[in-house]
Amino acid sequence: MHYKIQNNTIIYDFPKSLDFMTQKGKILFGPDFVFYDELMPIIRILFICLIQDHENMIKLGLDPRKGVLMSGPVGGGKTCLMRLMQMMLHPYHKFQLKPCRDIRLEFQKEGFGIIDYYSHQSFKFSPGF
Ligand SMILES: Nc1ncnc2c1ncn2[C@@H]1O[C@H](COP(=O)(O)OP(=O)(O)O)[C@@H](O)[C@H]1O
Ligand SMILES: [Mg+2]
């Protein structure tokens, strides 16, 4: 297992978590799926944010109350990475993945209330989702 629970804390093993995601990546996206070495620093930072490791976030100069904005070219692997992170996390840390396309359609129908709804903290971290 790539995480364990000790004294009410979820402790993740980073190398094992990477192995878990690589195996799932090969199943979902094909046998060529790999985590490129040059991306590892970014993947490590994303991992620290998603497991809410506040101590390491502060060391990195990141504010634990803020979200994460990931940008990059279309087809660069952002969605795949987030899907794998989602699968790897303990249910307590899981988040909902929602395509922007869907939010755009809801915005067209419902208006600005939708932006408020998706900005709400309880939506971002919904344990057991
Ligand atoms: N780490 C990776 N190794 C190999 N192929 C990948 C990797 N990440 C993504 N891909 C391939 O690239 C395609 C596009 O990735 P995707 O996550 O949809 O990009 P983005 O969300 O950045 O537009 C995926 O369908 C997948 O087959
Ligand atoms: Mg995408």
Which residues of the chain register pLDDT less than 50? 124-129
| Structure confidence at residue 123 (pLDDT) | 52
Distance CA 24, CA 118 (A): 28
Which residue CA neighbors atom 7 of ligand 1 most closely? 77
Ligand 1 centre to CA of 113 (Å) is 32
| Structure confidence at residue 97 (pLDDT) | 86
Which residue CA neighbors atom 4 of ligand 1 most closely? 33
Question: Would you say the CB of residue 126 lies under 6 angstroms from ligand 1?
Answer: no
The per-residue pLDDT for range 93-128, each reduced to its tens digit, is 988 888 888 999 999 999 999 988 887 755 544 444
Q: How far apart are the first and last CA of the chain?
A: 20
Amino acid at 36: Y
Question: Would you say the CB of residue 74 lies under 6 angstroms from ligand 1?
Answer: yes
Residues 5, 9, 11: CA angle, nearest 5 degrees: 60
Question: Would you say the CB of residue 80 lies under 6 angstroms from ligand 1?
Answer: yes
Crossing angle of helices 78-88 and 40-50, in 10° steps, is 50
